[in-house]
Amino acid sequence: MRITDLLTKDTIAMDLRAATKTAVIDELINQLDGAGTLNDREVFKQNILTREGQSTTGIGEGIAIPHAKSAAVKFPAIAFGRSLEGIDFDSMDGQPANLFFMIAASEGANDAHLEALSRLATFLMDEKFRERILAAATKEEVLKAVSDKETEVDGPEEDPTSQGDPAPQGETAGTGKKVLAVTACPTGIAHTYMAAEKLNERAKELGIALKVETNGSSGVKNRLTDADIAEADAIIVAADTKVDMARFDGKPVIQTAVGKAIYETDNLLNRAVTNDAPVYKHDKSKDEASDSDSKGGFYKHLMNGVSNMLPFVVGGGILIAISFFWGINANDPTHPDYNEFAAMLNTIGGGNAFFLMVPVLAGFIAMSIADRPGFAPGMIGGLIAITVSGVDEVSGGSGFLGGLIAGFLAGYVTLLVKKAFSGLPNALEGLKPVLFYPVFSIAITGIIMMLVNPQLTSVYTGISSFLESLGGTNLILVGLLLGGMMAVDMGGPVNKAAYTFGIAMLDAENFNFMATVMAAGMVPPLGMAIATTLFKKKFTKPEREAGKTAYVLGACFITEGVIPFAAADPARVIPASVAGAATTGALVMLFDIGLRAPHGGIFVMGFVEGSAMNILLYAVAIIAGAVVTAVAAGLLKKNIAAAA
């Protein structure tokens, strides 16, 4: 696809009337809206302003490229505006901007669209190209300048072999130094490729051998291999968003903003070749196992899923808890305590937010593995995990465990599908992300999950049957077992089996079991939160920050709050969590405490059966278990320095 397919006469304003940055943005949005490219101009404007809030798109040299990828865009387009006098756009070099290109990328933009948009960004690094546009008298001359530049760089037609990074790799090695670079901006459309182009251009002029990896909207291009990194004398990481840094451990690395690679190019390259770069030491406690093919390994993919799932867990769980303020049965239309507002909160939290937890987990795990094409099959696989049981009289599927399997399955299936279609003609390139990848990835992932999920669900039903057979045994031992089960897999089949057993006992009017599973389910996140407070040297700074959130999650009976700790160090965190939760379960049964509420944590402690003393004993049981988990974790885990 050529840039002139996206930049048209209808989206060009030869002489801007605006005098301020905000007015420029409004005027260019009007051009796009008038050309029919936007669904909602106000939403798109907000997206543009959000991007400006991350870092200015006034890159210097008289250029500004405000841009956004937005659902408010019907189809990708470029608006151009010019001000001969110049307008203050908060540019990096402090100078007024004369040339303004507003890039509007739709959320469904395919690789061909995104590469055309990024190619424009690289063209603007050419001073002669900028001068020609600045001197143009008509819209036709602007379009001709763009078309001629494309022909100069890409040939008269789109180069069928052009599937790599739009920024070429420098080839001259006059300094004898080998330098690598990574560029990445939040939207991955403009600055990513402009920085790569500027680095390549100056490196070639200075005789520096350079290879640049771009982390853009269409995925990682020109990826740095293990061999590249091993041979490199220095690495420049110019990024305003997260990139995989573990692979650079022990190498001289210059870390900077992506804009600096555009405006301070010579300084960065000079530092790289004169050994003016600190040696990068990766924090191995939060290491994402180095794997160039899977782009970060198991931990990175899992954490990508968990971090995106947690807002659903936190928001949904707290809304459910708040709904119980109006009574345990406030969401039941047939009950005298029914409250419409409470029912709405319960539906939002339990029926919607909680329902989406597993699909979101699976979707973002798959996306971490296979980039954007992995998201849809991951979501579908996660949805199958919680909706297709395949077991008679059982609903709910395999839950968290099924979601984990679905996420990794979808990610690697998508990688295989992408590889299978890598040899298609360039003319079909645009169909890959919108047709071939989703159809085949969703179909293969879905079929495998439909076949596997019944077996995973059978694990859950078997555990439930075993628990029901324990009803007549020593209740303290049952409490010990139920408590431990609530902490084993943090929302998975074992946890779900124990929780469902407690729900089933509510129907039989035996409220001790519900009190046991809720109290025990609160312990793992509370215990790890206390551990991060008492044993700071055994946790990284991000883990200590996560500990603050874990206090809230544990108090709200959201056992999944311990997942970040368990995923990072399962051999120590899971045993500590099980020990504390089992202690709490046994104490609740020993104190003979009952609870009618099926969810809510501390928000429903007022519904504990009996006197105020029972509420106090219930709190004592929870605190005791949390302290056991905290102390056990503190004893089992090593100091960060020693562990590294």
| Catalytic center residues | 67, 185
Instruction: Give the chain's radius of gyration (CA, Å).
Output: 29
Task: Pull the structure tokens for residue 428.
Answer: 């079909």
Is the distance from CB of 339 to CB of 330 less than 8 angstroms?
yes
Return the half-sphere exposure (C-beta side, CA atoms, 13 A cut-off) of residue 576. Answer: 28
Strands 209-216 and 219-221: antiparallel
Cα–Cα nearest to 499, from 294, 334, 350: 350
Q: If you ran DSSP here, which 8-state letter would residue 223 be given?
A: P
Handedness of CA 542, 547, 552, 556 (dihedral sign): positive
Return d(Cα 189, Cα 446) in angstroms, integer.
32
Cβ atoms within 10 Å, residue 128: 9
Q: What residue spans of 234-391 are helical by DSSP H?
A: 258-263, 265-273, 297-323, 340-346, 354-370, 375-387
Return d(Cα 75, Cα 109) in angstroms, integer.
7
Is the distance from CB of 281 to CB of 252 less than 8 angstroms?
no
3-class secondary-structure state, position 289: coil
Q: Which residues of 131-141 are buried (b: 16+ CB within 10 A; e: fewer)?
A: ebbeebeebee
Region of residue 86 (phi > 0: left; psi between -120 and 50: alpha; otherwise: beta) = left
Return d(Cα 144, Cα 303) in angstroms, integer.
48
Q: Please list, in sequence order, all residues whose beta carbon lies within 8 angstroms of the beta carbon of residue 183, skipping any fewer than 6 positions away.
A: 191, 192, 193, 195, 196, 199, 212, 213, 214, 215, 238, 239, 258, 261
Residue with token string 């209740």: 475
